[in-house]
Amino acid sequence: MNAFILFLHFFGLMLGAAGGFASGIIMRRAISMPPEQAKTVRSLGPLLAHVSAIGLVVLWVTGLILVWSKWNGLGSLPTLFWVKFVFVVTLTLASGAIHMTYAEIRRTGNVALGARLAKLGPAAGASATLAVLFAAFAFN
């Protein structure tokens, strides 16, 4: 059973990474497009943020299950797990801020708020990368 939960954990990682990388690529591409084309491409941002968020939820749920089913709770986790956990929390906060920004843009129509996304996206990406790096060391 733990192998299947671990598979789902990795699947969540794939969803999160796919949404994040795709968003970063298309947003960079949109910069060089004519305004109407760029608007269409940028409209994919919220969808990709949802894909990433679903992956993050899967990671949280399966991660918590694995903590107890494989590691017998929080007390037996290696020290580097807690370093990883800091980056998971940072990623979660960045993801929440991205969703709040998209909601505010939808609510107010103020597309200038999208400038936040240029900071939040890389922060989420760096947090995710560091979480995976420290997970590799923690569970090696």
Prediction pTM value: 0.89
Q: How many other C-beta atoms can be found within 10 angstroms of the C-beta atom of residue 32?
A: 8
List pLDDT tens digits, range 24-50. 888 888 888 898 888 888 889 899 999
List pLDDT tens digits, range 81-127. 999 999 999 999 999 999 999 999 989 988 888 888 888 999 999 99
Looking at the chain, list the stretches that DSSP marks H as alpha helix, in order from N- to C-terminal side: 2-31, 35-42, 44-69, 79-108, 117-138
Query: CB-based contacts of 46: which residues, under 8 Å, 6+ apart?
Result: 102, 106
The DSSP letter of residue 76 is: G
- Give the residue from 17, 13, 133, 8 showing the smallest Cα distance to 62: 8
